[in-house]
Amino acid sequence: MGLFEVYSLSDLVPVEAKGSYIWDDKGVKYLDFYGGHAVISIGHSHPVYVDKIAGQLHKIGFYSNAVKNPLQEKLAEELCRTSGYEHYNLFLCNSGAEANENALKLASFMTGRDKILAFKAAFHGRTSAAVAITDNPNIQAPVNRCHKVDFIPLNDVSALEKALAGGEYAAVIVEGIQGVGGIRPVDDAFLLRMRECCDAAGTVMIVDEIQSGYGRSGKFFAHQYAGVYPDIVTMAKGMGNGFPIAGLLITERIEARNGMLGTTFGGRHQACSAALAVLEALNSEYLVNNAAALGHYLVQELKKIKGVTEVRGKGLMIGVDTECPQAEVRGRLLKDFHTLTGYSGKNTLRLLPALTITRKEADEFLDAFRKVMMF
């Protein structure tokens, strides 16, 4: 008996965490510049977060969506106001993949179509339709390949126009910033043209902000740099700061119908409390502004370091390409400087720290990274 082992694990056992740091079972302190795949938005063990979750658990932790839950309505109001999506409606679920599954289902309901347009190097999840629109055949089983999906290059306007001209797609789905694909931003002009083409073709425009949303990019959603409004925005990860919760912001043009979507655990009391705590911290501590400012500082400093070939991203979603393999860089950062980072491909380092990081913590990372790159 044991675990069904599908993960490549670091030899690290975290037992405590606070802010931008974690401690392992040997008492060693680590700087967390990865945030558990961009999940930790307001820092580990944020006091508002802890208080709200613990307080809610003493009242009621869960009941299904068979009864009214005022916390859902409060979350919808706060989220729509904070994000600037006051005229959208919120559907709550549990994970990013589930959010994308529901977004595709809504698009198919709305259009009566069954084809999806996605992008090369995209990642949208590992479940049925979500993995079908993920550009990685290695994680697709035969059952996933029955979905009708076409992939075109990201930021290729002519390919986009040609694909959507026929009016055959239920939806086009794009990440606000490609994450697993190497931290690759979407051009503003490309998103604007996508909106125009979707309107002309009657195709639903979905933006996956699961990793890039909730302030990480320096705006609440990364696509807001383009000033564009999708029909559906999906979100998860930073939404709950580690507590499982996800959601869809849905244009009012898509009408809800009883039973068209559903979930047992989505929007449960404790999950809503976690999400409300995140929004409270984002607003009261101006964390979106902090992400923009410190992200800009990090990018400028990283570009100066010898051995760095390219730096991409927005806010605190940063990709760093290095001349040497990222495995060597990440290994030394972890072993010699007790610093956690992520990766994409052979040469890209992914930096996804909490939005609460300070200039001192940014400099701590830069100092460690410079020393690693000297060798």
DSSP string, 153-192: -TT-HHHHHHHHTT--EEEEEEESEETTTTSEEPPHHHHH
DSSP sequence for 311-332: EEEETTEEEEEESS-HHHHHHH
Report pLDDT digits (tens) over 146-199: 999 999 999 999 999 999 999 999 999 999 999 999 999 999 999 999 999 999
pLDDT of residue 107: 98
pLDDT of residue 79: 98
pLDDT of residue 77: 98
pLDDT of residue 80: 98
User: Which CA distances in Å does 356 have to 66, 82, 314?
Assistant: 37, 18, 16
The answer to whether 57 touches 243, Cβ cutoff 8 Å, is no
Question: Regarding the domain delimited by 14-46+286-373, which CATH topology (the fold level of the hierarchy) does it fall under?
Answer: Aspartate Aminotransferase, domain 1 (3.90.1150)
Contacts of 258 (CB under 8 A, 6+ apart): none
What parts of the chain have a pLDDT lower than 50?
A: none
Handedness of CA 344, 104, 70, 209 (dihedral sign): positive
pLDDT of residue 375: 78
**All CATH 3.40.640.10 domain ranges in the chain, comma separated:** 48-284
Give 280: exposed, middle or buried? Use CB within 10 Å, 0-12, 13-18, 19+: middle
**All CATH 3.90.1150.10 domain ranges in the chain, comma separated:** 14-46+286-373
* Amino acid sitting at position 270: Q
What is the H or E stretch that residue 250 is in?
strand 246-251
pTM of the complete model: 0.97
Residue recorded with tokens 């001209």: 165
For the chain, the average pLDDT equals: 97
The answer to whether 330 touches 351, Cβ cutoff 8 Å, is no
Kindly report the backbone phi and psi dihedral angles of residue 276, in degrees, each rounded to the nearest multiple of 5, phi listed first. -65, -35
Question: Regarding the domain delimited by 48-284, which CATH topology (the fold level of the hierarchy) does it fall under?
Answer: Aspartate Aminotransferase; domain 2 (3.40.640)
Nearest one of 277, 278, 279, 291 to 177, comparing CA atoms: 291
